[in-house]
Chains A and B, each alone.
Chain A
Amino acid sequence: MIEIALNVNGKEHHASLQPYLSLMDFLRDMLGYKGVKVCCSTGECGACTVYMNGKLVNSCVTLAAAADSGEITTVEGLASNGKLHPVQIAFIETGASQCGYCTPGFIMSAKVLLDEHPNPTVDDIKDVISGNICRCTGYTKIIEAIQLAASIQLAEQVYGD
């Protein structure tokens, strides 16, 4: 067993864990962040997407020990003061979530895009979600949701929350 200390969604955690443990298994099974979904476990589908030190990664192919002294954000950490992030609101409004299993991963990817490109093209959107797989929606509504999220974000910047 090894010891690590890290910050998840603004909260400090100390844990003792097996060295081979993935960040995905660690976040879900030891810390209870079930918004990190388990699906392929091979880095293909994006269901387990989180930010590690601000970078979008698949937590299933990340070593938990590599997050020692680092900062992790999961989908649980996106809402602030009880208010959902514009991407989350847009996914609900558009019906971009059907079974919902892929949704946290898509939301994490979409937020990264909007942080860098507040007004993305459809190609920008397709690019950033290319590492996320959805078996239900056919992607059309997901792309619409991300476009709507961009509008909500721009409106918030102009008119305030």
Chain B
Amino acid sequence: MEYFSPTSVEDAVSILHKYGERSRLIAGGTDLMVDMRFKDQPDCLVNINRLSNLSFIKPDEDCLRIGALTTIRELEANHLIKTRFRVLWNAAHQFASLQIRNAATIGGNIARASPAGETLAPLLTLEAKARFVTADGEQLLPLERFFLGPGRTALGAGGLLTGIEVPYPDDGARGVYLKHAVRGPMDIVVVGVATTITFDGRSAVNEARIGLAAVGPTPMRARGSEQLLQGKHLDLPLIEEAARGAAEEAKPISDHRASAEYRRWIVESLTRRALTQAWQNV
């Protein structure tokens, strides 16, 4: 196995370009180390931990910029994220153990593109964009178009994610992320539901965004339910209807963790709970 530890993004990308499918980037290693031990080893391993300029949380005027090497623990410990990007903070806070949060990076979580990835549904509801570099140059793409399937992204074989750009939610936006897993935070989500809702005045919904995790090949938005809520005053019957709608929009599969039917049922109850929490906090 060849090994590189580049100190610039350009060097990293040219190594990836040269080795293509046979190469793997490694950041925190919490996914890749397990793959290398129990599945297969790449011919070329590219350790990106020396790209220390990819580790940052930077509040710019137009958006919050987060570097790909920022750890989940750093997100959890950040005050701005805790207060203004609550939906993302909720996900970071419920992410595995302290040991894993200290090592796992947000870039690795996004590049891994697991439909169950903890930060993905929250980031969809924040309408975050991915910034990445390939041999063809730099690109900025909304996350919704970045995810192509389980483990498949616009990065292809030779792309390096440098960070994400997250627009500031409106003042007073309510963000909630709820995770259903059998053994609590340590376990992979059976279903995750993220909501980011802004209200007009008291309880009329200005904009509702609902993100679903682990119920399709990629994390997804429940657009139908979002439209249903738009402009309306939240009340229990409306919340019930939106929750049922989200369950219908979900495209779950059955696997060893849960059946598709069970997953739809959980989508409905988590959506109901998330919307109720947002509504009660208005």
Contacts and interface: CB of A to CB of B under 8 A. Distances in A.
A131 B100 contact: yes
Contacts of B41: 20
Interface in A14-33: 18-20, 22
B75 to A, nearest CB: 15
A66 B25 CA distance: 12
Most buried by B among A18, A49, A55: A55
B133 interface: no
B184 to A, nearest CB: 8
B47 A63 contact: yes
A97 to B, nearest CB: 20
Interface in B91-122: 96-100, 102-103
Main secondary structure of the interface of A (DSSP, over half): mixed
A43 B34 contact: yes
A127 B99 CA distance: 11
Contacts of B2: 19
Interface residues of B, number: 28
Interface in B5-60: 5, 26, 28-30, 33-34, 36-38, 41, 45, 47, 49
B96 to A, nearest CB: 7
A56 B36 contact: no
A49 B99 contact: yes
B135 interface: no
B99 A65 contact: no
Given A44-B186, A57-B103, A62-B103, A131 B97 contact: yes
A2 interface: yes
Contacts of A42: 34, 37-38
A20 B45 contact: yes
Interface of A: 2, 18-20, 22, 41-44, 46, 49, 55-58, 60-63, 65-66, 68, 109, 112, 127-128, 130-132
